[in-house]
Structure 1
């Protein structure tokens, strides 16, 4: 696997299954916020940008300054990263198609911090798979929001059904899934 830090890697056979959204898709940010339960974890620059533009700073946001494999527009980067409203910012490395120990640790730390501080996790590489561990790491009933390219924002409520689907996906990834599941669900 690339890098010593990689814990899980997405096999090619699982890519098509990940295209199926884990929850309902919203194109209206206000409607999504009305349906979401706090705390909210946002995965992706555009999703985070829309939540911030609607006046809501997520508890945790994971961004990589890219969307659909290209750099985000300057106004998105400025609003999310350069002029970040988050109380703290953490940088981690996470190669495409993987979940690294650094990303998982930063996510757990941000969600477990007392008192809670809004956290922006800036990923060097790719944050796309971070929605999976986020669904397991947030408190029961919290929301994870991620982008569905060219469709909208997916709202996942961290309930038992969503967590079971995510567990199944993680268990089929290449690498040491049991320590990841134990740590995130512990």
Structure 2
């Protein structure tokens, strides 16, 4: 015997096409995977010995994994944000791009503050499966961003000539 029933949206914020796969979460999940791979590759490099013969392989692996992160970010920028959850995912992708693009100490400190402030926006509104999936993706990405900040991979080098107030710095202090 077959039963037929209709399904309704769980909340007012859930779109009627909630069963259809969303583009942004499908592109954001590979970004999280690429970030995890890149962080693991950088940690491997941190424990490597300069005289180890496999260091070239680890360097290539780290470069390829950061290239994969950049490719994922490029794909996300080209996608259309059509759902309520997509805006928060796109904002987190912009934050990843900001952290990776820091070239000055001031920009890096601003990115650190933005990552710390983002931990209060890690829950998407709504009760549907799209909101729950987006919340999990945001939390994973925030954990990866926090690890990136702690690893000092994107920390710019200190340039004593770039001090805005003309203060002299001893070369031994750098």
Structure 2 length as normaliser, TM-score?
0.31
Q: Tell which structure's C-alpha radius of gyration is larger.
A: 2
TM-score by length of 1: 0.29
Q: Of Structure 1 and Structure 2, which has the larger fraction of its residues in helix?
A: 2
